[in-house]
Amino acid sequence: MDALALARWQFAITTVYHFIFVPLTIGLAPLVAIMQTAWVRTGNERWLRLTKFFGKLLLINFALGVVTGIVQEFQFGMNWSEYSRFVGDVFGAPLAMEALAAFFIESTFLGLWIFGWDRLNKKVHLACIWAVAIATNLSAFFILAANSWMQHPVGAIYNPETGRAEMNDIGAVLTNNTLWAAFPHQITATFLTAGTFVTGVAAWWMVRLVRTRKAENVELARDVYRPAVTLGVIAMLVGGIGVGVSGDIQGKIMYEQQPGKMSSAEALCQGQEGAAFSILTIGDLSNSCENVRHLIEIPGLASYLGTGHFSGPESYLPGVEDVQEQMTERYGDVTASGDPVTYTPNLAMTYWSFRLMIGMAAGSVLLALMALWLTRKGRVTDNVWFARVGLVAIPMPFLANSFGWIFTEMGRQPWVVAPNPTGIDQIRLLTERGVSTVVSPGVVLTSMIVFTLVYGALAVVWFTLMRRYAVEGVPLSVRDESPEAQEPPDEGSDAADRPLSFAY
C-alpha cells in the first residue's frame, strides 16, 4: 500500500474507534445529569443509586473517549499536512474553539464531579455534571462545524496566490445548513445510543431480579430499575424520532450538495424519476454500474427521500453516471498518475453502510416497544426475552453511528473537501492531494500498527470494565455525602479530617 492508502486506513481506524465511545458519552452525560437532578429535587435515593451506577459506566467510557480524542487533534497535521495547509485558515478555527469552549469545561468539571461529592454544595455539584453534559454537546457542534465545512464549504474564498482556502465569514461557517442538519442528527443519535444502553442494562437487571421471585428483589426492580427503563425509553423515543426526521432533512440536503454520495447510496446508476429504494441489491463490488441488480425495491421511495416527491419530473434523481459526467465537465481533475478522476464513491461501501446505519435502529425499536408493553402501568417483568433483546440491542446504535460516519466520509470520496455546487469551484480538494508528502509509507504503517495494537488492548480493558460494572448493578446503599448533609465538625477538628469520599 502507498502512503495515501495507509493514511486513509489509519484515519478510519482511529476515528471509528474514537467514535465508539463518543456517542455514549454525549448521550449518557445528560441522562446521568437528569438522574442526579431527580435526586436533588425529590431526595429519592433511587435516583442517587442510578446516578452512581450509570455515572461509573459513563466515567469508564469517558476515559477512552478523552485519550483517543487527543490523536484526532494531532493526526490532521501528521498524516494530512497538505490538507491542513489548504483548509487550516477555516478548519482550524472550529477545532480551536472546541478546545477552548468545550474541552476545558468537560475535563475540568468532570474532575470536580468525580472528586467533589463531599466538597461541593449539592447544587453546585449537580451543576458540574450539567456543565459536562452541555460541553460534550457543544464539542459535537464544533466538530460537526468543521466536518460540515469539508462536506459543503461556505464562508470562504480561494486565494490563488497561496492556493489555499481563506475564511471570510465565520457566521456562514457556523450556520452552514449542512451543519444544522448534521448536528440534530448526531445529537439525537447519541440519545438513541444512550437510551438503548440505559434501557438494555436496566431491562437485563429487572428480569434477573424478578426471576428470583424474592419480594425484596422484585421491589428493587420496581423501585430502581423500572424508572431507569422509563428514562431510557424516553431518550430512545426522542432520539429515534429525532434521528429519523433530521436524517430525512439531511438526505434531501445531501442530494443537492453531494449527489454522487446519494446516488451511490441508492446504487442508482442512471438518473430517473420516481426512483425506487432498494432493500437488497447485488453487484460485483468492483464499483462499476454494469453488474448492479436491485432485488427488493420499494417504488418511488428513493425519490421521495431525496426530493420529497414520489413521482413526476420533480422526483428526478441523478444517477452515478450522470454525476460522473457533470463533474468531469465542471472540474476535470486528473489523478497523480494522470488519469481522469472518478467522481463517485465506492458503490458497495456507500450503499451498504447507508442501509446498515438505518437498519441498526431495529434493535432499539424492538426494545422500546417491548419496554413500553412489558412495563406498562407500573409493571415489572420476568420475560427473559426482554433481557435478551436488551443485551442484543445495546451495541446496535453504536454500529449505526459508525456506519453513518463511514457512509458520510466514504460517500464524500474522492474529495476530502467536496466542492460546493453553488460555491467557489476552487475550494475543493481531492483526498489524494491532502496527504502528507514528507511522511513515508513505512512510518505511517508503523504508527498504524502501534495504534491498532494499543487500541485493541484498550478495547478489551474497556469492555471488561463496562461489563463488570454493569453486572455489579446499583450500589446496595448510598448516602448523601454533600457538605450540607454532614455532621458539623467537632471543636478543634476540621471537616477536612475525613478521608476523601472518592480517590483513585
Measured from the CB atom, the residue of 208 and 309 that comes closer to another protein is 208
424 forms part of the interface with another protein (CB under 8 A): no
Q: Which residue do the cell numbers 429519592 mark?
A: 44
Query: Contact with another protein (CB under 8 A): which of 5, 99, 296, 334?
Result: 99
- Please list the residues that pair with 293 across neighbouring strands: 282
The reply to whether 436 sits near another protein by the rule CB under 8 A is yes
Helix axes of 177-211 and 3-42: crossing angle, nearest 10 degrees: 60
Give the Cα separation of 160 and 250 in Å (integer): 32
Pairing between β-strand 293-298 and β-strand 277-282 as defined by DSSP bridges: antiparallel
Residue placing its CB nearer to another protein in the complex, 190 or 436? 436
- Give the residue with the Cβ less far from another protein, 115 or 331: 115
Which segment (207-215, 238-246, 311-319, 330-338) binds another protein by CB under 8 A?
Answer: 207-215
Instruction: Name the residue nearer to another protein (CB basis): 45 or 297.
Output: 45
Q: Burial-class residue 485 by CB neighbours within 10 Å (0-12, 13-18, 19+).
A: exposed
Q: How far is the CB of 69 from another protein (least distance, A)?
A: 8
The interface mask with another protein, positions 108-137, x = CB under 8 A, is xxxxx-xxxx-xx-----------------
- Verify binding: residue 486, another protein, rule CB under 8 A: no
Give φ, ψ of 435 to 5 degrees. Answer: -75, 150
Least gap, CB of 130 to another protein (angstroms): 14
Name the H helices within 116-157.
122-151
List, as one string, the DSSP characters of 266-278. TT--S-BSSPPEE
47 binds another protein (CB under 8 A): no
Residues shown for the chain: 504
From candidates 16, 40, 85, 301, binder to another protein by CB under 8 A: 85
> What single DSSP character describes residue 468?
H
Q: Are 434 and 83 in contact (CB under 8 A)?
A: yes
Nearer to another protein, 70 or 245 (CB): 70
Which x/- pattern, by CB under 8 A, does the window 131-170 give for another protein? ---------------------------------x-xxx-x
For another protein, the binding residue among 17, 103, 197, 304 (CB under 8 A) is: 103
CA geometry: angle at 143 spanning 137 and 144, to 5°? 90
Candidates 160, 161, 377, 477: give the one binding another protein (CB under 8 A).
Answer: 477
Question: What's the angle, vertex CA 102, arms to CA 100 and CA 107, rounded to 5?
Answer: 100
